[in-house]
Each structure stands twice: as C-alpha cells, then as structure tokens.
Structure 1
Amino acid sequence: MTVELRHLRAFLAIAAEGTITRAAARLHVTQPALSRTLRQLEAHLGARLIDRSTHHLRLTVAGHAFQPRAAAAVTAVDEALDPARAGTWPLRLGHAWSALGEHTTPLLRRWKQEHPDTPLQLLRVDDRNAGLDRGTVDVAVIRGEADLPAEVNTVALLLEPRVAAVAADSPLARRTRLTLRDLIARPIAVNTIAGTTALGLWPPDDTPDDTIEVANTDDWIAAIAAGDAVGVTTTATAITYPNPAVAYLPLAGVPAVTVHLAWKQPPSHPAVPDFIALAQRLIPAPPSTTGG
C-alpha cells in the first residue's frame, strides 16, 4: 500500500480531536472510512499509533514520535501547493528570541542582495528548537544546548557574552558590572521554554532562593522592568530588546553562550546550504564551542 496525504491528515485529525467521531466530522468522511484509513497507515508503518482502549483516544509512544513528522510533511505539501506562494519559496529562519542579535540586519540585507529571488522569512517561535522539530522553519537559531534528533546538522556560529538584566531604578543598575552572587537576593526570571538560564548556572552552595517562571522574552522583560525579578541573558537581548525600564550590565565569571544554526538533513529548502555559508562568511567563527 502507498501512503497518501489523506492518511497523514486522518492521523493528525484523530490526534487533535481525540475521537473518531469528531475527526470524521472535521474531515467530512464517514467514521468507518476514517478508521480504515488509520489502520492502513498503521499497517504500513508496522506500529500502533492510536490507543483505542478508552473512549477518548490517545497517542501511543509511536504515535507521539510520528506526529511531528506527519505534521511537517503535511505543512510542506500545503505550502508547496499554496497558489499565493507560486513563483516564490521563502527560506524560513526560526528563532526563539533575539534572532542573531547585532548580526541579524546585516545578514538579512546581504541575503536580499545575493539571493533576490529567494525571500528570507524571519520567524519567532517560542520553542527550544525554534520550530525546527515541527517543520515550521528550515533553519533554526539555537542558543546553548538543545536535544536534537540525529538527522539535524548544527554549526557553532558565534559566542554571546552573558549580561545581567535589572530594573533601571534598582540600586544594582548603578554598578558597572555584576556577578551571579549579586543577583541571588532577588527572584530570578527564568524562561522555561527557550531560555539559556537555569539555577544550575549558580554554584550549588550559592543559588537563588526564588525564581519567576515565564514562557517568552516579552514576559521576561516585563517581570524585570516591573522590579519583580532580575535576569541573566546574552548581549543579543540587550541589542534586540532595549527598554528604558531595564538596565543590562556585564556579568563577570560566567561562560558565554554558544549560538548554533541547525537544519535537517536532507535540507527542507534548497537554499539552506547557501544561507549557512553566508552566515559563516559574515560572522567571525567563535574561538571555541564551550559554554551554554
């Protein structure tokens, strides 16, 4: 049997809706036809994708692993067949925050000059892998360590020094530089989705007493500007997110953060190798890949 796009759409609809009934209504097919399509897909893969033992269907371990691959395949086909995109095929560059900092604009401008027929689309995705695992981007900017599958290639592009972020009216803002110890008396704002700062950055015997968890950079900055917390980030944030209520100060005694470019192999866009080469040409190579 040859797997078709309808098999993937059927699986994704069932996974999203949780029942065959609702999924069938969503796809405008009968329930028996949808169940048959799912069985065909499972037979082809040699694995059970949906646990049917309860009234509300659930994904199996294999189903959870297959879901992002199926979603990426459907997204790629939909975009390829989108009439609005006929004649253009944008290269999608994903980032969770700050893109490439001070290098972002020069890189975008140079790409436009050298590749005028291939638009470069910058996408912010609040995700540790900046949308790469979901197939929503072709290349991802990833800071620090990330859990990436074997088919993903990475290159260390640059090192970003860490800085402290404090409220501009805080006594700490009057200092010329700070240390991790200077921050422990205040709650630490931690971006749990895509940030590079965790309590493990501090020595085990000298860690902060409290944290404020946020899910994106906007909320992180808001917490610091309000004086509710302090934070640790990189110089890219200070460049990309200047705020009169937030002071960014050099942070002594901490390792820099390695910024990687990551892409799937084979590439999801034919221009990926050209983009990697351009980025490496414009941005000086880091002296090492330690840090994170």
Structure 2
Amino acid sequence: MDVELRHLRAFAAVAHHRSFTRAAEELLITQPALSRTVTQLESALSVRLLDRSSRHVELTGTGREFLPRVEHVLAALDQALAAARREITIRLGFSWLLPDPWAQDAVNHFTRTTGASVALVRRDDPIRGLQQGTIDIALVRGEFTAPRSARAVHLYDEPRIAVCSQNCDLARSDHLDWADVPRRPLVVNTVSGTTGPWSWPNGQGPEQIVETTNFDEWLESVAADRGIGVIPEIARRRISHSAIRYIPLTGAPPSPVSLVYLPHAQQALIRGFLEAAVAAVNG
C-alpha cells in the first residue's frame, strides 16, 4: 500500500492532540475511520508510531523521530498550495456601488479561506459580461432575466429611496409615496437599473419615461431635472451630488440583490465565494 497524504495528516493530528477523539474532530472524520487510517500507515511502514496502551496516546520512539519530518512535508505542501492559489482570481462583476459592508466581508472571508483573490470588475451590464466570459460571478440588483443554464443566489433585499433635482418641488418634501411615483416623469437606467416600468403592473407605471443606459447618465439626468429616480437606499450614504436631493420613499417594494454565475472550470472556487457571500449576509 502506498502512503498517502491523508495518512500523514491523520498521524500528525493524533500526535499533536495525543487523542484520537480530538484529532477526529479536527479532521472532520469519525474516530474509527481515523484509527484505521493510522493503522494503515503503520502497516505500510511496518513500524509502530503510536503507543495506545495507556489512557493517553503517546508517540513511540520511531513516532517521535518520524513526526518532525511529516510536519515538514505537510508545511511544504501547504505553502505550495497557497502559492498556487494566489495565482487564481475570481472576477466579480458589478454595475455600480458594491453593497457595504457585505462586499468587504465576503471578499476578505473568501481570500482568507481559499488563498485565491477577487478582481472587482465594473460592467454596465454584468449579465452580459457573464455571458461573454469577462467575469465569473455577477452581482445583480433588481429583477433580471438570467442567461440559459445560469444559476442565481438571492442574498438579501435593499430598501429603495427617491432621488430628485434640487430644483424639483419634491426637494422640500419629507417623503414620497410609492403610489405617487408614476405621476411624475421617471428616469430609468434600462441596462442595470432597479426601478422602471417593469416595477408596476401593466398600465400602472409612469406615463413618461426618460431612458438612460448607464448609472452616470441616469444620475445626471435626474440632476438636470428631467425626472425623478428611484434607487437602492445605499446611494444616499455613498453618492454625494450637489444638484440632487434624496427623498424617503414609503410603501416601495424592496429591491433584491443576487449573485449570478454559469458552470465554470473554477466551480469549486465559485462555490467558495458563494459560501463567503452568504456568510457575510448572515454574519
């Protein structure tokens, strides 16, 4: 029988804890499975490495000599794996304003647990970037049509807020009701916006729509008083513009935030990022 990495890790764990129970907990395997693995290693080497005769597990003379060499091999392997993973990057695409502190927490958790890195890639249309292969995971706000075979993970919902020009009569209001939004011209980002005619049942949306194709056009159109806008509330904390005013919006449905991805060669790392992303929401 060949000696495998699992044999060395099992022996090192038992030697460190002097306990099969605690070593099994560390390795996330059952105690009988751990005992069999160590026995296999001893059989392959034709030596006894552990003395199981006392209440506590102890190293034999051969085991004490073998342990530092095993630890050296495992440390060198871990260093090699970490170096290889540092060359791996997951590309996270977004259209504007990554949510905080979710983005920072998710990225830090992912890099800490995998050793890989995250490249933040801004795209006016993250879904299209996903289809073109320029990003690996798309952060999408609002309702969207997922590409064929794509998978989506809903993270959480963001509250909405109204935005208007400083010259608009709403600039002096203390709130705006969702039911009153359709009575005014609405500036819409048709590519990655979260609020548009699709946000209301047929026939109940705004009669006048001002279309834009990216966030900057949307923002400057609102500032120019071409209409009002509706956006996730995070904008109030993150975007300062002297020509706009934020108005609390009552009765508005929340805006979903999701991660979208396609089957990929780096599927294991993508799963790792999704786990980090969900942990950042719950943590």
TM-score class, shorter-chain normalisation, is 0.5 to 0.7
Measure how far apart 1:267 and its partner are: 5.1
Mapping of 1:41-60 within 5 angstroms?
A: none
Please tell me whether the aligned partners of residues 94 and 138 of structure 2 are also in contact (alpha carbons under 8 angstroms): yes
* Residues 267, 101 of structure 1: alpha-carbon distance in 2 compared, 3 angstrom cutoff: farther
The residue that corresponds to 1:289 in the other structure is none
Kindly indicate whether residue 229 of structure 2 is the aligned counterpart of residue 231 of structure 1: yes
Letter paired with 2:154? A
Show structure 1 runs of 4+ deviating over 6 A.
Answer: none
Q: What's the CA shift string for 1:196-249, capped at 9, x where partnerless?
A: 222243465654332211010111111111222211111233334332322222
Q: Give the secondary structure class of the aligned counterpart of 1:208.
A: coil
Mapping of 1:83-94 within 5 angstroms?
A: 88-94=87-93
Q: What is the percent sequence identity of the aligned residues? A: 29
Q: Give the secondary structure class of the aligned counterpart of 1:283.
A: helix
The partner residue of 2:246 within 248, 262, 265 is: 248
The residue that corresponds to 2:164 in the other structure is 166
Distance in 1, matches of 2:126 and 2:120, equals 16
Kindly indicate whether residue 94 of structure 2 is the aligned counterpart of residue 95 of structure 1: yes
* Residues 102, 211 of structure 1: alpha-carbon distance in 2 compared, 3 angstrom cutoff: farther
Distance in 1, matches of 2:265 and 2:258, equals 16
The partner residue of 2:188 within 187, 190, 203 is: 190
Distance in 1, matches of 2:277 and 2:86, equals 25
Measure how far apart 1:101 and its partner are: 4.5
Q: What's the CA shift string for 1:230-286, capped at 9, x where partnerless?
A: 11111233334332322222222221111111111245454211111111111139x
Mapping of 1:1-292 within 5 angstroms?
A: 88-115=87-114, 117-127=115-125, 129=127, 131-202=129-200, 207-266=205-264, 268=266, 270-284=268-282
Q: What's the CA shift string for 1:32-90, capped at 9, x where partnerless?
A: xxxxxxxxxxxxxxxxxxxxxxxxxxxxxxxxxxxxxxxxxxxxxxxxxxxxxx96222
Distance in 1, matches of 2:190 and 2:246, equals 20
* Residues 128, 136 of structure 1: alpha-carbon distance in 2 compared, 3 angstrom cutoff: closer
Distance in 2, matches of 1:245 and 1:112, equals 39
Q: Give the secondary structure class of the aligned counterpart of 1:131.
A: helix
Please tell me whether the aligned partners of residues 112 and 119 of structure 1 are also in contact (alpha carbons under 8 angstroms): yes
Aligned length: 200
Please tell me whether the aligned partners of residues 141 and 259 of structure 1 are also in contact (alpha carbons under 8 angstroms): yes
Measure how far apart 1:130 and its partner are: 5.5
* Residues 149, 211 of structure 1: alpha-carbon distance in 2 compared, 3 angstrom cutoff: closer
Distance in 1, matches of 2:152 and 2:205, equals 32
Q: Give the secondary structure class of the aligned counterpart of 2:106.
A: helix
Give unpaired runs (5+ residues) of structure 1: 1-85, 286-292
How high is the TM-score relative to the length of structure 1? 0.60
How high is the TM-score relative to the length of structure 2? 0.62
Measure how far apart 1:118 and its partner are: 2.1
Q: Give the secondary structure class of the aligned counterpart of 1:132.
A: helix
Q: Give the secondary structure class of the aligned counterpart of 1:94.
A: strand
Measure how far apart 1:162 and its partner are: 1.4
Q: What's the CA shift string for 1:94-122, capped at 9, x where partnerless?
A: 1122222442334344444445x422111
The residue that corresponds to 1:18 in the other structure is none
Over aligned residue pairs, what C-alpha RMSD do you find?
Answer: 2.7
Distance in 2, matches of 1:205 and 1:148, equals 25
Larger radius of gyration: 2
Distance in 2, matches of 1:266 and 1:247, equals 43
Q: Which structure is higher in helix share?
A: 2
